[in-house]
């Protein structure tokens, strides 16, 4: 089990080295948004960051922001969307127990949130990238970034692209954070880098009133009049926490996260009674495309059984492969559908017959043969009654030689980060297991549980992190007024 985190009794603190209205712990996108919003509300804000500069995992990311409801960018690219269609999609995608309250607010205020990014100086090119979902390699500003076009979601909500991408080719996270950090500075936020929080300070009434920090070996105490906002990231780089809460993620070869994604904020919150939810869940990417041609193949598990529509978003492919099939998957192709994938992976088997591929993979005798025969029968009619793959990707796999690409966790790229975290309300207030707010404590970003766990789409982490970071900043600033 992860080491227990200390809680500091305020009565033991003889001196606070600094006092602010709002104290933000961690300066990635969620922390920056919280600091900007709190300062905009007139609060005196102090932000601390354990690294030598702000940015965190957000700066290393693709920078995609999941927004919709009819943003200016969507309209400029010729797409219609509404808060209701966005809401219907997220409610369907985000697992069996979606957070309806937070999803509703997020969708209803998504257009305003896009305008907030524009106001911070984040540029968006009004061009749609049509080639595949996720992160475009160009500087185009809009992309499908989830399962909106794939079954069953395309039948439940009107598809619309909602991946809003800052205008720069390739990874846009650096540009996004550059603009947000510049706004933090413009808003007069005091920033202390190389400063790591290791404990919350709690008053006699149970209210969180500050944090204990270390900077260059020196210990200090910082006081917050209105609230402490934890935005320290997730826990993908804490092996003990991953082993305890999300052991399947340990199989993933590529962990998406900065060094600071060690769960410190989550553990500090839990130490003062906060509930942590969905801790087993992560975003798990299994990119089988580009090229899109590979979607014409079929993904099978260790039993030779197909388990998903292959035209689904790569996060859904990874989620299903890891959580439902323990990371055992192969992409079966024939000579007409085979092509080298952009994300390099090994050829696990090749043969002149389906039986030869089946035998080389060590699958149960006859299993892959039956799966391929059934698939081919329906594909010849342009149908996929099992999983609903779109007709444009349905072709019988009948042209030898046949091959299977290795899509297992041991032989393929699975990129993962955590989605579980502290339970929070619509204003970022941290909640106990009973649903009561922990006084003075807020959280956002991956320190808080994601809107989408499961059901992640590219851009939701930056989207919900900044959106609820802003709401936490506003709530903490208003709490300052109420308490002074």
Residue 95 forms part of a structural domain = yes
Residue 260 forms part of a structural domain = yes
Where a domain ends, among 135, 164, 193?
164
CATH of residue 365: 3.90.700.10
pLDDT given for residue 162 in this prediction: 98
pLDDT given for residue 199 in this prediction: 98
Residue 210 forms part of a structural domain = yes
pLDDT given for residue 233 in this prediction: 97
Residues 61-81 as b or e (16 or more Cβ within 10 Å = b)? bbbbbbbbbbbebbeebebeb
| Alpha helix positions (H), 309-455 | 314-325, 354-361, 367-379
pLDDT given for residue 235 in this prediction: 98
* 292 and 370 part of one domain: yes
| Of 271, 481, 299, residue with least CA distance to 387 | 299
pLDDT given for residue 344 in this prediction: 80
pLDDT given for residue 185 in this prediction: 98
Residues 105, 108, 111, 115: what is their CA dihedral angle, to the nearest 10 degrees? Answer: -40
* 300 and 390 part of one domain: yes
Assess contact for 189 and 35: CB atoms under 8 A: yes
Query: Going by C-beta distance under 8 Å and a sequence separation of 6 or more, which residues neighbour residue 425?
Result: 101, 102, 431, 437
Phi-psi region of 483 (alpha: psi -120 to 50; beta: other; left: phi over 0): alpha
What does the alpha-carbon distance between residue 309 and residue 379 come to, in Å, rounded to a whole number? 12
pLDDT given for residue 170 in this prediction: 86
What does the alpha-carbon distance between residue 185 and residue 182 come to, in Å, rounded to a whole number? 5
* 74 and 179 part of one domain: no
What does the alpha-carbon distance between residue 332 and residue 142 come to, in Å, rounded to a whole number? 31
Query: Going by C-beta distance under 8 Å and a sequence separation of 6 or more, which residues neighbour residue 158?
Result: 80, 81, 85
* 397 and 296 part of one domain: yes
* 386 and 298 part of one domain: yes
* 215 and 236 part of one domain: yes
pLDDT given for residue 484 in this prediction: 66
Tokens of 92: 């369907």
Q: Which residue has the tokens 């959106």?
A: 467
Tell me the pTM: 0.95
What does the alpha-carbon distance between residue 190 and residue 172 come to, in Å, rounded to a whole number? 26
* 304 and 448 part of one domain: no
Counted domains in the chain: 3
Where a domain ends, among 164, 197, 222?
164
Residue 389 forms part of a structural domain = yes
What does the alpha-carbon distance between residue 107 and residue 86 come to, in Å, rounded to a whole number? 6
What does the alpha-carbon distance between residue 478 and residue 216 come to, in Å, rounded to a whole number? 33
Assess contact for 312 and 356: CB atoms under 8 A: no
* 179 and 55 part of one domain: yes
pLDDT given for residue 2 in this prediction: 67
* 146 and 233 part of one domain: no
Determine how many CB atoms are found less than 10 A away from the CB of residue 9: 11
What does the alpha-carbon distance between residue 379 and residue 385 come to, in Å, rounded to a whole number? 10
Where a domain ends, among 354, 379, 406?
406
- Domain span holding position 103: 65-164
What does the alpha-carbon distance between residue 249 and residue 47 come to, in Å, rounded to a whole number? 31
What does the alpha-carbon distance between residue 102 and residue 105 come to, in Å, rounded to a whole number? 5
Residue 271 forms part of a structural domain = yes
Tens-level pLDDT at each residue, the chain (484 residues):
566 789 999 999 999 999 999 999 999 999 999 999 999 999 999 999 999 999 999 999 999 999 999 999 999 999 999 999 999 999 999 988 899 999 999 999 999 999 999 999 999 999 999 987 678 899 999 999 999 999 999 999 999 999 999 999 989 999 999 999 999 999 999 999 999 999 999 999 999 999 999 999 999 999 999 999 999 999 999 999 999 999 999 999 899 999 899 999 999 999 999 999 999 999 999 988 888 999 999 999 999 999 999 999 999 999 999 999 999 999 999 999 999 888 888 999 999 999 999 999 999 999 999 999 999 999 999 999 999 999 999 999 999 999 999 999 998 889 999 999 999 999 999 999 999 999 999 999 999 999 998 889 999 999 999 999 999 999 999 998 887 6
What does the alpha-carbon distance between residue 26 and residue 55 come to, in Å, rounded to a whole number? 9
pLDDT given for residue 96 in this prediction: 85
Residue 177 forms part of a structural domain = yes
* 88 and 156 part of one domain: yes
What does the alpha-carbon distance between residue 281 and residue 102 come to, in Å, rounded to a whole number? 18
Assess contact for 180 and 413: CB atoms under 8 A: no
* 90 and 227 part of one domain: no
Tokens of 467: 């959106």
Residue 395 forms part of a structural domain = yes
Assess contact for 263 and 238: CB atoms under 8 A: yes
Q: CA distances (Å), 36 to each of 27, 135, 136, in order?
A: 11, 26, 28
CATH of residue 227: 3.50.50.60
pLDDT given for residue 482 in this prediction: 80
Determine how many CB atoms are found less than 10 A away from the CB of residue 193: 14
Tokens of 405: 């690409």
Residue 369 forms part of a structural domain = yes
* 178 and 56 part of one domain: yes
């Amino acid at each position: 089990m992860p080491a227990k985190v200390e809680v500091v009794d305020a009565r033991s603190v003889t001196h606070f080295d600094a006092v602010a209205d709002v104290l933000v712990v961690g300066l990635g996108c969620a922390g920056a948004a919280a600091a900007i919003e709190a300062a905009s509300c007139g609060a005196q804000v102090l932000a601390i960051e354990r690294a030598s500069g702000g940015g965190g995992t957000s700066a290393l990311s693709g920078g995609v922001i999941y927004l919709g409801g009819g943003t200016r960018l969507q309209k400029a690219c010729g797409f219609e969307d509404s808060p209701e269609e966005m809401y219907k999609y997220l409610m369907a995608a985000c697992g069996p127990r979606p957070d309806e309250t937070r999803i509703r607010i997020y969708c209803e205020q998504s257009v305003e949130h896009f305008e907030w990014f524009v106001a911070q100086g984040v540029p968006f090119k009004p061009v749609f990238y049509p080639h595949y979902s996720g992160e475009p390699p160009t500087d185009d500003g809009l992309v499908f970034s989830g399962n909106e076009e794939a079954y069953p979601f395309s039948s439940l909500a009107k598809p619309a692209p909602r991946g809003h991408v800052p205008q720069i080719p390739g990874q846009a996270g650096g540009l996004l954070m550059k603009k947000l950090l510049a706004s933090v500075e413009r808003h007069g936020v005091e920033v202390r880098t190389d400063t790591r929080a290791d404990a919350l300070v709690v008053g006699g009434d149970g209210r969180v009133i500050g944090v204990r920090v270390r900077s260059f070996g020196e210990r200090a105490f910082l006081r917050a009049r209105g609230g402490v906002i934890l935005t320290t990231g997730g826990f993908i780089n804490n092996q003990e926490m991953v082993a305890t809460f999300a052991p399947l993620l340990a199989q993933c070869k590529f962990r998406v996260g900065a060094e600071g994604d060690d769960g410190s904020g989550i553990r500090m919150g839990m130490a003062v009674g906060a509930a942590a939810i969905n801790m087993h869940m992560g975003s798990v990417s299994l990119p089988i495309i580009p090229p899109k041609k590979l979607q014409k193949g079929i993904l099978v598990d260790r039993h030779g059984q197909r388990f998903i529509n292959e035209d689904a978003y790569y996060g859904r492919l990874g989620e299903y492969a890891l959580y439902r099939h323990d990371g055992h998957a192969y992409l079966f192709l024939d000579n007409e559908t085979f092509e080298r994938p952009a994300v390099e992976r090994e050829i696990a088997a090749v043969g002149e017959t389906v039986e030869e591929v089946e035998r080389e993979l060590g699958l149960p005798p006859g299993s892959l043969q039956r799966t391929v025969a059934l698939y081919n029968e329906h594909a010849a009619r342009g149908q996929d009654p099992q999983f609903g793959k779109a007709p444009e990707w349905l072709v019988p796999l009948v042209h030898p030689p046949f091959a299977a690409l290795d899509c297992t966790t041991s032989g393929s790229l699975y990129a993962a980060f955590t989605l579980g975290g502290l339970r929070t309300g619509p204003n970022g207030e941290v909640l106990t297991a009973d649903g009561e707010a922990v006084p003075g404590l807020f959280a956002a970003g991956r320190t808080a549980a994601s809107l989408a766990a499961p059901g992640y789409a590219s851009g939701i982490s930056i989207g919900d992190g900044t959106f609820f970071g802003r709401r936490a900043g506003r709530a903490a600033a208003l709490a300052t007024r109420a308490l002074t």
